[in-house]
Amino acid sequence: MSSITLKTPEDIAGMRIAGKLASEVLDYITPFVKVGVTTGELDRLCHEYMSNVQGTIPAPLNYCPPGYTPYPKAICTSVNDVICHGIPGDKVLKNGDVVNLDITVIKNGYHGDTSRMFFVGEASILARRLSEITYECMWLGIAKIKPGAYLGDIGFVIQQHAEKAGYSVVREFCGHGIGKVFHEEPQVLHYGRPGTLEKLQAGMIFTVEPMINAGRREIREMGDGWTIKTKDRSLSAQWEHTVLVTETGYEVLTLSAGSPAAPDFITASSAAA
């Protein structure tokens, strides 16, 4: 427990700013996600917007955890059967593709981290349902957040909802604590048992970012050392918010004017932050 940092009021103020800016990058890029654009062009546009308009730094660029090569781009673009960490490049988006854009910006030393799913042209009913269920999974997990709850409560409700829909939860990647450091304790698993793992306290900040596969949960790693795909080549979806544990519940830090609305079942009362 001691390795989890509780954020000060100053930290929280900084994280609110960084979170909103990260979400605003997704607002900005939305009209460009269409048939014929390359993932590299989306990366270039986001990078320029961060640098020139926001004065933020893209956290993924040259990010290098132990055992990895430095990540070469400013954002992650995960298309179709790519679960996460897809590297932008010359891939041209075509009608029916689904893509997750994962944005992390640094502003005044604080990290804001969020991702959304996008449909390119006309998406299939399967793709739309997978994205919707994954979005609900994220919000169901977020709605469990309050002091005295457990990280296992979040994972349990996400796993229940995904598996009830016939989908599977990726186990190898999870949410994470975040602040002045991109990835810190705790790990936020998207599966598990209620009442297990760390107890939540006001001042914790972490991401909830379920990766849900239409098929089996097994993964395969591509030769670039970053890109992770579904082993059975089924579609995968992911949504992500950065969340603060407040004295009474939670506050989502990665909201902006263009953020999709929370599902109907997430009532204002559950977020009385």
pLDDT of residue 227: 96
pLDDT of residue 74: 98
Please say whether the beta carbons of 104 and 71 come within 8 A: no
Give this prediction's pTM: 0.95
| pLDDT exceeds 60 at position 269 | no
Is the backbone peptide bond immediately before 186 cis, with ω within 30 degrees of 0? yes
Element (H, E) at 207: strand 205-208
**Domains of the chain by residue range:** 9-271
What pLDDT does 266 receive? 81
- Quickly state the pLDDT bin for 3 (edges 50, 70, 90): confident
Dist. CA 254–CA 256, nearest whole Å: 7
In this predicted structure, the answer to whether residue 271 has a pLDDT above a threshold of 80 is no
Instruction: Return the DSSP state at 38.
Output: B
Q: Residue 141: what pLDDT? A: 98
Q: pLDDT tens digit string along 43-91?
A: 999 999 999 999 999 999 999 988 889 999 999 999 999 999 999 999 9
| Res. 272: pLDDT tops 50 | no
Average pLDDT, the chain: 95
**Listed residue (84, 88, 64) closest to 74, CA to CA:** 88
The CA distance from 126 to 132, in Å, is 10
Nearest to 152 by CA among 16, 160, 273: 160
Instruction: Tell whether the model's pLDDT for residue 1 goes beyond 50.
Output: no
Phi, psi of 183 (to 5 degrees): -130, 120
Quick: pLDDT tens for 139-169: 999 999 999 999 999 999 999 999 999 999 9
Architecture of domain 9-271: Alpha-Beta Complex (3.90)
**Residues in a beta bridge with 79:** 99
- Partnered with residue 150 across adjacent β-strands are 199
- Decide if 126 contacts 214 (C-beta within 8 A): yes
How does pLDDT run across 82-116, given as a tens digit for each residue?
999 999 999 999 999 999 999 999 999 999 999 99
**Alpha-carbon gap, residue 95 to 110, rounded angstroms:** 37
Q: Quick one: which of 196, 186, 181, 138 has its CA closest to 162?
A: 138
